[in-house]
């Protein structure tokens, strides 16, 4: 057992304990709040702030994504590769995981890159665990798709192949779902029927989306986003908007959609420019989207950026008038919900996994705030020396 004593607790479950204790047993949260006396290891949380372990819903870490010549996250043999599975590209021993949990991120949604229109399925995975199997929270977690500049450059500009335009991107996605609908229908035929197609992993992954067993995670920004809303209605599927720069132009579309699981915004790292792709940096849009009931999250888009990307973006939202508790939820329970793992992580509640980021200083408010401890499944995986 382990007790975190006398800490301020942001639960991401509607409650803030100004000063209280947390009891951890067998990797789970046993009790939250009040004074807890137990004969066990103690973390002195006096003057510290405890959050749920931070959750990054959009990450490409744990492989060679930064080295484009050696990267394992874009299967560039075709513009539509739904059969790909990012789990097979993840190095479970990568130092990337340590880099992130030192910054308070305990769970990442690791997904294929955005070189292809349809890139394959992703996984929700913890940064540490007693076994690789136990670290995987959900697999497959979502089917990655990408719009705009990335696939256009990778194929149209560099190869003179489709997609050369946004029209082509839309048609590739539409054709993929139509093929999957036909495949799903014919797979119901008797096994001895010659019209019954053989098993196809790519089509099976797309069919999971059609059955609403997982959403599509779509790299998109500015007016590209409208394409996703249209296609989701066409096929009655669920989706998330990834990056979402320029969301402030489409408040009504976001708040009225029946298929939107959430927006995962960021990273804010590019010089604003108008017009152009990635040109509208509007973190303030999450204030209004959250007010309208849209699930809003912040992302790192790692490994290009670390955990500090979450805190910097959260700080910008607060500077624009956002609420501190809401911003913490954007880094914890909200991304957990988009990945379908919120029953285990994302908030400090009895029965959930004992994942915590314990800060000295208020994250997103205090520029000197730093992670003092990170816990995953009740184990201290990081302790600051300072």
- CB-CB contact of 24 with 354 (8 Å): yes
198 — pLDDT class (breaks 50, 70, 90): very high
Radius of gyration of the chain (CA): 21
Q: What pLDDT does 264 receive?
A: 98
82-117: per-residue pLDDT in tens? 999 999 999 999 999 999 999 999 999 999 999 999
Q: Where are the alpha helices (DSSP H) in 71-156?
A: 95-101, 132-135, 149-151
Ordered by start, the domain boundaries in the chain are: 53-346
Q: What pLDDT does 172 receive?
A: 98
Q: Taking residues 322-341, report their average pLDDT.
A: 98
Q: Taking residues 207-231, report their average pLDDT.
A: 96
274 pLDDT more than 60: no
304 — pLDDT class (breaks 50, 70, 90): confident
Q: Taking residues 353-364, report their average pLDDT.
A: 98
Query: Is residue 174 helix, strand or coil?
Result: helix
Which CATH number is 53-346 given?
A: 3.20.20.140
Q: What pLDDT does 277 receive?
A: 67
Please tell me the pTM assigned to this model.
Answer: 0.96
Total length of the chain: 386
Main-chain phi, psi angles of 33, to 5 degrees: 95, 160
């Amino acid at each position: 057992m382990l007790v975190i004593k006398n800490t301020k607790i942001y639960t991401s479950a509607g409650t803030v304990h100004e000063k209280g204790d947390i009891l951890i047993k067998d990797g789970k949260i046993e009790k939250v709040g009040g004074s807890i006396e137990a004969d066990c290891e103690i973390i002195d949380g006096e003057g510290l702030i405890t959050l749920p372990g931070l959750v990054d819903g959009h990450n490409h870490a744990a492989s060679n994504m930064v080295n484009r010549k050696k990267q394992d996250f874009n299967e560039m043999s075709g513009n539509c590769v739904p059969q790909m599975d990012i789990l097979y590209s993840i190095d479970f021993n990568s130092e990337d995981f340590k880099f992130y949990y030192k910054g308070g991120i305990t769970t990442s949604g690791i997904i294929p890159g955005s070189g292809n229109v349809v890139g394959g399925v992703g996984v929700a995975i913890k940064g540490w665990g007693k076994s690789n199997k136990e670290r995987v929270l959900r697999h497959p977690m979502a089917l990655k798709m990408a719009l705009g500049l990335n696939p256009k450059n990778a194929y149209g500009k560099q190869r003179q192949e489709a997609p050369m335009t946004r029209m082509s991107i839309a048609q590739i996605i539409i054709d993929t779902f139509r093929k999957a609908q036909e495949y799903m229908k014919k797979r119901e035929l008797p096994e001895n029927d010659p019209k019954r197609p053989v098993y196809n992993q790519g089509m099976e992954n797309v069919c999971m989306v059609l059955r609403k067993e997982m959403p599509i995670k779509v790299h998109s920004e500015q007016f590209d986003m409208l394409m996703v809303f249209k296609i989701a209605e066409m096929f009655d599927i669920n989706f998330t908007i990834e990056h979402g720069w320029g969301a402030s132009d489409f408040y009504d579309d976001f708040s009225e959609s029946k298929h939107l699981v959430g927006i995962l915004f960021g990273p804010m790292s590019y010089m604003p420019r108008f017009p152009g792709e990635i040109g509208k940096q509007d973190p303030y849009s999450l204030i209004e989207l959250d007010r309208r009931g849209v699930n809003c999250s912040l992302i790192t888009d790692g490994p290009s950026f670390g955990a500090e990307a979450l805190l910097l973006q959260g700080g910008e939202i607060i500077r624009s008038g956002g609420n501190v508790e809401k911003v913490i939820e954007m880094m914890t329970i909200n991304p957990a919900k988009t990945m379908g793992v919120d029953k285990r992580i994302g908030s400090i509640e009895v029965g959930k996994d004992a994942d915590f980021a314990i800060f000295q200083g208020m994250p997103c408010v205090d520029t000197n705030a730093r992670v003092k401890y990170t816990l995953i499944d009740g184990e201290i995986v990081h302790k600051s020396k300072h």
